[in-house]
Amino acid sequence: MQIEKVSEEAGVRLTVSGSLTAVTAEQLSAAIDPVLEETKKLILDFKELEFLASAGLRVIIATKKKLDALKGTMVIRNVCEAVMDVFEVTGLDDILDFE
């Protein structure tokens, strides 16, 4: 998995590519933590994310909870059909914000 960080006017965008699994979830968490110290607006761009496992979902949910406590926002962009199916099956598509 690779993560690219870009600061935008709307917040900080993390573009995640590859597979978000139990092995790589900690890598995403470690990339998110410093971002939350500099902004309350996180954009997760999943246009190149091919696979999402439950460990990745845990990181996303934990991040949403942190941002909710900070009165911040998180948006998930460019989700492929296979990854969106995971969000829909788990019911997270109703809780998270997608573009």
pLDDT value, residue 51: 97
Q: Contact 51/81 with Cβ under 8 angstroms? A: no
E strand or H helix at 95, and its extent? none
For the chain, 99 residues long, give each residue's pLDDT as a single digit of tens. Answer: 999 999 998 899 999 999 999 999 999 999 999 999 999 999 999 999 999 999 999 999 999 999 999 999 999 999 999 999 999 999 999 999 999
Record the pTM.
Answer: 0.94
54-69 helix and 25-38 helix, angle to the nearest 10 degrees:
10
Go through the domains of the chain in sequence order and give each one's CATH number. Answer: 2-98 (3.30.750.24)
Nearest in space to 78 (alpha carbons), one of 55, 99, 53, 59: 99
